[in-house]
Amino acid sequence: MKLEKDITFIYMDSSEKAMYMPIYNEAKKRGYRVKLTTNMFEKCEIGFYCQHVNLPQFSKFSIIMLHDIIQQYGNWPDIWLREPWDKYDIGILPSNQWVENWKQCAKWFYARPRLGVYHVGWPKADTINEIQNKTYKEAFMEEYGLDPHKKTVLYAPAWENDHKQDDFVQAMLPLDVNIIIKQYDANPKEFPEFAKNIQEMYLLHKDIPNVTILPPTTNIFNVIAVSDILVSEESSTMAEATMMGVPAISVSNWLIPDVIPSRYPECNYEFVTMTTKEKLSECVKEMLENYDYYKVKTLEASKNNFSNIGKTSAIIMDILDDYIDGKPCRYDAIPCDLKKRLPFKQYLRHKKVRVYREVYSNYRVRYGCVDFIWKGLRKVKRLIK
C-alpha cells in the first residue's frame, strides 16, 4: 500500500492531546504533515487512535494506543473483548504488564492488529527529561507561590465525587506540606455531574492557604515533576507517577461512580501504597518520614515496568517510517501463540459489544434515521420495563 506522509491524531480531551504531542512533534520534524482533530469520522491517510471506541475504517493505515495505562483495569487481562484491535494495522503497548496482558489474549482474533503489536513505551512520558530538573521545579514553585522548602503532595483522582477532594485537603492541612490539586479536564456536556463536583470543590478550597488548585488542562507530568507524593484512587496518574519515581498512594475506600451502585477502586498493583481516607494523613506522614525507602522502591518499579522513557515517540515514528518505506521493521513485533477458535459464548458476547458500539457511536451519529429508530427502540424498552 502506498501511503502519503500525512498523519491525523484523533483525540477527545486534553489528556489524550498531551499524549499525542510528543509524537506530533517528532513526526513534524521528520517531514510529515500532521493534524489534530476531535472529529472521530475524519478521513485519514494515517490515523492515530486511543479512545475506547474508534472508527479506524476511515483511515488507510491505523495505529491504536491505550487511552490510559490502567485502562479497563477491572477487566484485565482481556480488555480486547470489549475494545478489539483487529481492525487496526499496528498496536502500541506501554509497559511490561501490558505485554503480559496482551500475550494472554493474543490467541483470540480480536486482540491482534493486522501487522503486529509493539512494546514501545508511553509517549506522554517523553517530556520527562525536559522537566525533571531543578530549574523547572524552581520556576513552577515560583509561578504558583509554593514553598520550595516543603514537600509537595498532589491529589489527582480518576473521579471527583462524594467530597473526595475535601477528604484529601482536610487530611493534608495538619501536615507541613504544599497541597496541590489537579483534576481531570472534564467536558461539562459529556460529564455534567463530574464537572459540577469539580467546581463545587474548587469553590470550597480556592481560598485556603497552602492549597493550590491547578487548571485541569495542565499536563499531569508537569505537575508530577514537582511533587513528592501523589494521592488518588485508581487513576492512571499513579502509574505515571511511578514512571517518574514519585511514590503513589491509593485511598481504598473512596468510591468510583462509573457503575450503579458505586464501587470501591481496584488497585492491587505492587508499586502503590494502600490506605483509607481515615488514615490518609497518617499514611502521608509516615511516607514523608521514610521517604528515601519509598523513593528507591518506586524507582525500582519504574525500571521493571516501563520502557524507553523519553524515547517512545522516536521509536513509534521509526516503526511508521519503515512501514511507509516498505522496509522490514527495525523493531520486532511481540511474539504470540497461534490463533485459537473463540468459544461460542465468548464470540457472541464479543459480537454483541462490537455491534452495539458501532451502531451507537457511528451509524446513530451519522444518520438521522438510525438515531430516530434507536431512540424509538429505547422508549419501547423503557415501557416494557
CA angle 209/179/184 to nearest 5° reads: 115
**What angle (nearest 5°) sits at the alpha carbon of residue 270, between those of residues 166 and 21?**
70
Q: Which domain holds residue 231?
A: 131-305
Residue 31 has pLDDT above 90, yes or no: yes
Nearest CA to 276 among 301, 257, 251? 251
Query: Poorest-confidence range of 66-75, 223-232, 348-357?
Result: 66-75
pLDDT at residue number 128: 84
CB atoms within 10 A of CB 355: 10
Q: Which spans in 77-122 are helix H?
A: 96-105
Average pLDDT over residues 58-76: 92
Contact 124, 22 (CB under 8 A): yes
User: In this predicted structure, what is the pLDDT of residue 15?
Assistant: 85
Closest residue by Cα to residue 215 from 243, 186, 191: 186
Q: Any idea what the CATH number is for the domain that residue 21 is in?
A: 3.40.50
The CA-based angle 87-91-96, given to 5 degrees, is 140
For 173-190, write each residue's pLDDT tens digit. 999 999 999 999 888 888
What's the confidence (pLDDT) of residue 66? 96
pLDDT at 340 over 70: yes
CA distance 350 to 367: 24
Q: Judge whether 371 lies within some domain.
A: no
> Which residues sit opposite 232 in a β-bridge?
250
**Considering the domain boundaries, does residue 216 fall inside one?**
yes
In a domain, 359, yes or no: no
CATH label of the domain that carries residue 267: 3.40.50.2000
Given 305, 323, 349, the domain boundary residue is 305
Q: 221-242, pLDDT tens digit by residue?
A: 899 999 999 999 988 899 899 9
Same domain, residue pair 10 and 61: yes
172 with 111, same domain? no
Among 305, 327, 362, which residue terminates a domain? 305
pLDDT at 385: 66
Same domain flag for 263 and 318: no
Give the residue with greater pLDDT, 56 vs 2: 56
Q: What is the pLDDT of residue 324?
A: 94
pLDDT tier at 247, thresholds 50, 70, 90: very high
The answer on 183 and 138 residing in a single domain is yes
Residues in the chain: 385
SS3 label, residue 86: coil
Give a yes or no: residue 382 inside a domain: no
Round to whole Å and give the CA distance between 212 and 15: 20
225 shares its domain with 172: yes
Stated as kind and residue range, the H or E segment containing 134 is: helix 134-143
Asked whether residue 354 is assigned to any structural domain, the reply reads: no
pLDDT above 70 covers a percentage of the chain that reads 99
pLDDT category at 341 given cuts 50, 70, 90 is very high
- Residue 227 placed within a domain: yes
Average of per-residue pLDDT values in the chain = 93
What is the Cα–Cα distance from 244 to 303, expressed in whole angstroms?
A: 10
pLDDT of residue 152: 97
* 184 and 322 housed in the same domain: no
Task: Kindly state whether residues 181 and 248 are assigned to the same domain.
Answer: yes
Residue 81, all three cell numbers: 473483548
pLDDT of res. 269: 75
Q: Is residue 211 part of a domain?
A: yes
Q: State how far the Cα of 143 lies from the Cα of 160, in Å rounded to an integer.
A: 26
Cβ-contact 76, 101 below 8 angstroms: yes
Which three cell numbers, joined as nine digits, stand for 296?
528507591
Query: Do 236 and 154 share a structural domain?
Result: yes
| 266 and 336 part of one domain | no
Domain count, the chain: 2
pLDDT, tens digit (0-9, with 9 covering 90-100), for 276-332:
999 999 999 999 999 999 999 999 988 888 889 889 999 999 999 999 999 999 999
Inter-residue contact 269 to 192 (CB < 8 Å): no
Query: Is 74 a member of any domain?
Result: yes
- Domain end, chosen from 278, 305, 332, is at 305
3-state class of 270 per DSSP? coil
pLDDT band at residue 147 under the 50/70/90 scheme: very high
The verdict on 301 and 317 lying in the same domain is no
Do both 167 and 263 map to the same domain? yes
C-alpha cell at 373: 429508530
Percent of the chain's residues with pLDDT above 90: 78
3-state secondary structure 302-361: HHHHECCCCCHHHHHHHHHHHHHHCCCCCCCCCCCCCCCCCCHHHHHHHHHHHHHHHHHH
Secondary structure letter of residue 95 according to DSSP: B
Q: Is 11 in a helix, a strand, or coil?
A: coil
Cβ atoms 122, 306 nearer than 8 A: yes
Cα separation, 95 vs 238, in Å, equals 14
Q: Please indicate, yes or no, whether residues 110 and 66 belong to a single structural domain of this protein.
A: yes
Report pTM. 0.85
